[in-house]
Amino acid sequence: MSEQPRQSGATEEYDVIVIGAGVSGMYALHHFRQMGLSVRVYDGASDVGGTWWYNRYPGARVDGPGSPFYCYTFSDELMQEWDWEETQSEWSAVLASLEPVADKFDLRKDIQFETWVKDARWDDAAQRWHVETDTGVQASAPFLICAVGALSTTNMPDIPGLHDFAGECYHTGRWPHEPVSFEGKRVAVIGTGSSGIQAIPEIAKTAAHVTVLQRTAQFAFPCGNRPITPEDMAEARENWDAIKAKMYANMGGFPHDGNTRSALEDTPEERRALYESLWQRAGFKFFLDLYADIAANEEANASLSDFVRDKIREIVDDPETAEKLLPDHYVMTKRPILENGYFEAYNRDNVTLVDLREDPIERFTPNSVITRSGEHPIDMLVLATGFDAISGTMLKLDPKGRDGLALKDRWHDRFHNYVGITIAGFPNLFMIHGPGSPGVFYNMPLGAERQLAWIGDLIQHMRDQGQATVEPTTESEDAWAGEVGAIADATLFPRTDSWWTGANVPGKPRYFSAYLGGDIYYQRIADVAKDYAGFVFEPARGEEDAEAS
Ligand code: NA7
């Protein structure tokens, strides 16, 4: 293996092909290059950033624990050079933090942008993945890294007449790069997940009218965005080693201690007092400092749900609107949302809420949306309808493994995988943030680094042992599924329809597929790497034949 790509006929040959130049794909390129491998990355976008390159809708910002710790840890220099300005950075600030990474490590020279991988196929005789792009590139490599994003394939609603709508229509996950003006326009927004809830108050500032079409009312918490001062940055830089160690040891990959208490250890008054103080402080730390059993115990869960519902009633002036905004699922079992004036937006004269449960959409016309109760004339439609998440982009890629086995067929009933990274029948294919891994339940840049380090170690092990291919057994996949399922079943997460359970996409296998154990996952995969139990290796074809003769 070498750093230099080769050419075989019309096919470009590399050691590693990476699909996706988002946070994970960028680090994959750097990491494998450091190992002395030749790497090629393909991405449909025209620059780095993945999800952050696409999700540039108004109000889009980090809705996790936030900057400066939503970041790579592999280079200490980056922490010395980055200058974050806000804890909940806007999408543009996240891109502005990734672009210098691409510059510093000269990543772009090995990334082919505006190039969509339309076919990825295992060639068993050559023991290589063969990739074909929509720009006509043919490339092959023994290793294929699918850094395709957990939130990248948009979920488009199937509503009669939608395609007849003649006004402007945008999906939040594919927002245009040109400025979009809402000035004087009547805008309908479908979807009240994180994207809709971030966008609605921003759109309402200038639109003539906003009609929110809500299918499920959501629990949303104050975003608590605050400036990061030069002193904050200096402190982060100074203590970076200790902070990193804490991130590695923390359940979610953040430098945070968390709360190990049960809600049931406190009286109802004490619980309310805690919720109130967290609400006032605001930000993602609300969730990190909550009782440990909020998402596992019904009584604990109800105490927080009641608190948030009361907050919504307090904030929203019109009692009828407030009532429609009250969620009725277990709090935290859909992605918890950080909002910036979402509930307050309903106190404006130009925002109307339509509860689709009692007043469903019947159809679109060229200039309106018709719900059961009547017609709403609109100039613009914003689809904040989310993603075919976690497994959706792998299914869209639909790689073909041994004997032409299509991933869609392998995954028709569930997302079979081992350690959340590998799939039986798909040798040398590795997923980042795929089903069976913590994915969106962990600090995603750090999670990608840790998964890629593990994959790099496995590739090194294969080089040392003279092995050409690796894939898991179906037995190890089943055991892994049992482990993932057992952890999830101890919580309330599987009881709610969400994109975590695949319920937002009709026809998708419906179950909770993420590994909820946080940092325990990384201990587990480190244990697996001690002897790679559960995997089958094959030497290079020529060597196997030579041994047999
Ligand atoms: P989400 O969280 O999946 O939200 C999508 C929203 O769109 C949600 O309210 C859905 O209702 C609604 N939806 C989806 N399809 C329809 C149809 N057909 N009709 C009406 N309403 C619909 O996606 P986001 O983009 O907001 O957030 C994704 C993640 O990105 C987020 O969690 C952050 O981590 C970043 P439902 O709840 O399914 O009833």
Q: Ligand 1 pocket by C-beta < 6 Å: which residues?
A: 63, 151, 155, 157, 172, 190-196, 215-216, 335, 356, 384-387, 499, 504
Ligand 1 centre distance from Cα of residue 156 (Å): 10
Ligand 1 nearest-atom number relative to CA 64: 34
Give, rounded to a whole angstrom, the gap between the first and last alpha carbons of the chain.
26
Q: Which two tokens stand for residue 309?
A: 């519902």
pLDDT of 549 higher than 50:
no
Q: Is the pLDDT of residue 548 over 60?
A: no
**Separation of alpha carbons 46 and 383, rounded Å:** 23
**Residue 353 and residue 330: Cα distance in Å, rounded?**
22
CB-based contacts of 506-512 (< 8 A; 24+ apart in sequence) = 506/158, 508/388, 508/391, 508/392, 509/411, 509/412, 509/413, 509/414, 509/415, 511/414, 511/485, 512/485, 512/488
pLDDT tens column, 419-462:
999 999 999 999 999 999 999 999 999 999 999 999 999 999 99
Q: Convert the pLDDT of each residue in 477-517 to its tens digit.
A: 999 999 999 999 999 999 999 999 999 999 999 999 999 98
Alpha-carbon distance of 143 to 119, in angstroms, equals: 15
Instruction: Decide: helix, strand or coil at residue 348.
Output: coil
CB proximity list for 74: less than 8 A, separation 6 or greater: 27, 30, 31, 449
- Which of the four pLDDT bands, split at 50, 70 and 90, describes residue 546? low
Closest atom of ligand 1 relative to the 386 alpha carbon? 23
Closest CA to ligand 1's atom 38: 504
| pLDDT (average), residues 220-246 | 94
Residue in the structure block whose two tokens are 């309330």: 492
Name the 3-class secondary structure at 9: coil
User: Could you tell which of 90, 174, 194 is best to mutate to test the pocket of ligand 1, judged by most ligand atoms within 8 Å of the CB?
Assistant: 194
Strand partners of residue 489: none
Pocket test for ligand 1, best of 211, 215, 358, 381 (most atoms within 8 A of CB): 215
User: Whose alpha carbon is nearest atom 35 of ligand 1?
Assistant: 194
Please name the residue that has the structure tokens 């407030």. Answer: 322
At residue 4, does pLDDT exceed 70? no
Rounded CA-CA distance 505/386 in Å is 10
Indicate the burial class of 533 (C-beta count within 10 angstroms; 0-12, 13-18, 19 or more).
exposed
Q: How confident is the model at residue 300 (pLDDT cuts 50, 70, 90)?
A: very high
The predicted structure's pLDDT at residue 6: 67
pLDDT digits (tens, 9 = 90+) for 83-92: 889 999 999 9
**How many residues does the structure list for the chain?**
549
Return phi, psi of residue 121, to 5°: -140, 135
